[in-house]
Amino acid sequence: MITNSSRHRAFRTAVAITAAVATVAGLGLASSASAATSVPFSSAVPTWAKKANLAGTASKTTIVEGQLYLALRDRAGAKALAAAVSDPRSPSYRQYVTPQQWIDSYAPTQTVFDAKVKALKAKKLTITGSPKSRQYIVFRGSVTAINKAFNTTLATYRVDGEKLLAPSTTPTLSATEASGIAGLSLDQGRLRTRPSSVNRTGAAGTETGAGIAPTETLSSLRETLATPKAVTVTTPCSSYIGQRYVKFPKTYGKTGVATANCGYSPKQIRRAYGTGSADGAGQTVAIIDAYASPTIKTDVASYAKKTGEAAFTSGQYTDYSAPKASFSDKTACGLPSGWQGEQTLDVLAVHALAPKANIAYAGGFNCAGGLDLALSKVLDRGLATIVSNSYGTVGEPTGAGSTAYINGEVNLQLQAAGQGIGLYFSSGDDGDEKANLTYTAPDFPASSPWVTAVGGTSIGLSKTGSRIFSVGWGNRLNAVSKKNGTLYYKKKLPGTLFAGGAGGGPSRIASFTQPSYQASSVPSSVAHGQRTSPDVAGLADPFTGFLIGYRSITNERTLSTGAFEMSVSGGTSLAAPLVAAQMAIIQQLTGVQIGFANPTLYSVAKTTPAAFRDIAPRGRATTLAYSSWNATYAITLDKDTSLVTRKGYDAVTGLGELNVASAAAFAATAAAR
């Protein structure tokens, strides 16, 4: 067998010769005729930048972030490598390359990179960041400067109630300028990237909080939920399902309904997933978010004290975030306070399930190019083998933005796969997204064929920690009303209000056709020939949620904070770090670096079905009671949008939940070689 190092030495030599020829042809010997030719970058225009959405001109002084994506020296080779090292059937399975080997073989050359940086600066644009891999350059400039630099006109468009800037004409560059450039991103669509978390605030043990809703839709949901005829029934939360019941109108034949939980503790989470004595020791999980909580270490220590858990040991948590002074686009990105809860949830979830795993946190300076730079830092420096990403856009292709951006993200994903780094993305919290988009679609980046998309479940735990139920995450709420002293439902159960559910479904991006690893596992009636998400699932339902605690940011400029408070959180933002922690435990138990997990996951599902807990319909309605916004609701679980759970693969939970007790199955193929 050819060794990993010798195989890549030979390959790098061939790539270097090819790249050198291409560089001379593309930069040094361009004729005057080709230099004068304009090269269009139609992939820079997002799908929503159309006449029907036009809202007016753009202020010339507005500062806009852009991203220039450089062409990989051998994208086909990078893709082939990513596939080969991830496929259990390949002779190169798990023969990963180092970050430097990947950069030496596939990244744009330093010569090309330097030329593009120089050209951007000459156009009066400010460079705000670039990765060691030289794959892209993040820059900023005024509307006037960007219009002139790329021969376009930025305009204002209405997108889902927001006003965003994007090119109204196709950007162009001369042939010389365009050489080596794979794409441009000049729109503000990426600033819509948000955490995939749903919070249920309020002190543990009570139900006096503000309620449940994604942060960006909180006010609209409050208006919807504030039913005038609704009543409040005291519904004290439960430490486990069945601890407390309340009297309701007849609900699926019963008048006693169990109350929602107070937030599962780390100990309950470990019992739910059967991790036993495994603790993630020797593994590192990276977490990517925007910005950085100023109190995360002290918050973890306070949380550990309140829950009887272990705080971080020295060196267990490392912060690789962008400096506070560089934070930008705060309002557009949902503010540092809007991401603080996400970071806290991610960190606490990983630490709860894998308490001895190291955590590398990388926060971006914003929710656009800053996130890319944060991820690149992990990839280029090999800081972790598992990366949890609990954020995404609002459905594709609208939310995914320009084709250039999508292709640029896939390049990063190919790098991760080639290096044996698994990327785990939350699948989203709005089901099929039809309410937001008027059509059904999954969220990106979870919809990419090169990442592991994590869907959601609702888990009911007994007093002893055993599972009473495991169903897909999708909640329908029905308000309890009262007339002549009698409780009743104005609407038929389960009610019409959708209060959150796992995202998923077939991709609408043309290039995301069904990958071979899904071909015999995902029903054609679900996939329709496309990459379908999610792949696996974890606890996400905030009504069977996870207890977290932190000191909330009270000043967005100084990042000063208030008192430490506990709350309940959920969403696929919880599921993603839980699955990442499970993978850390699987790697600990097997001594195998899983890498891009999907080909292995689907292969194991065929050979060892017990490695997954299949999440199928329960057969009878599962309900919980919850009070908020001066009203009380019956919550019917496993009621996502058009997405439904079923035996085997489904677009709510994928293959199901991982069973770490069957960890050996994930190493079997490698052990047999």
280-325 pLDDT, tens digit per residue, is: 999 999 999 999 999 999 999 999 999 999 999 999 999 999 999 9
In 3-state terms the chain splits into helix, strand, coil percentages (rounded to 5) of 35, 25, 40
Give the Cβ contact number of residue 520 at 10 Å. Answer: 8
Cα radius of gyration rounded to whole Å, the chain: 25
In single-letter form, the type of residue at position 214 comes to P
Confidence of residue 504 (pLDDT cuts 50, 70, 90): very high
Instruction: Compute the average pLDDT of residues 1-15.
Output: 36
pLDDT single digits (tens) 344-367: 999 999 999 999 999 999 999 999
Alpha helices, H only, 24-98: 32-36, 75-86
Bridge-based pairing state of the strands 194-195 and 391-392: antiparallel
Residues 79, 86: Cα–Cα separation, whole Å: 11
pLDDT surpassing 50 at residue 673: no
Q: Domains in the chain, start-ordered, CATH in brackets? A: 266-672 (3.40.50.200)
Q: Could you tell me the pTM of the whole model? A: 0.91
Residue 494 preceded by cis peptide, ω within 30: yes
Q: Which of 46-55, 194-203, 353-362, 407-416 has the lowest mean pLDDT?
A: 194-203
Element holding 641 (H helix, E strand): none
Q: Read off the DSSP letter of residue 26.
A: I
Strand 245-251 to 254-258 pairing: antiparallel
Whether residue 19 has pLDDT greater than 70: no
| Phi, psi (deg, nearest 5) at residue 335 | 70, 150
pLDDT tens-place string over residues 110-161: 999 999 999 999 999 999 999 999 999 999 999 999 999 999 999 999 988 8
Q: Are strands 561-570 and 546-553 parallel, antiparallel or unpaired?
A: antiparallel
Confidence label for 338 from pLDDT (cuts 50, 70 and 90) = very high
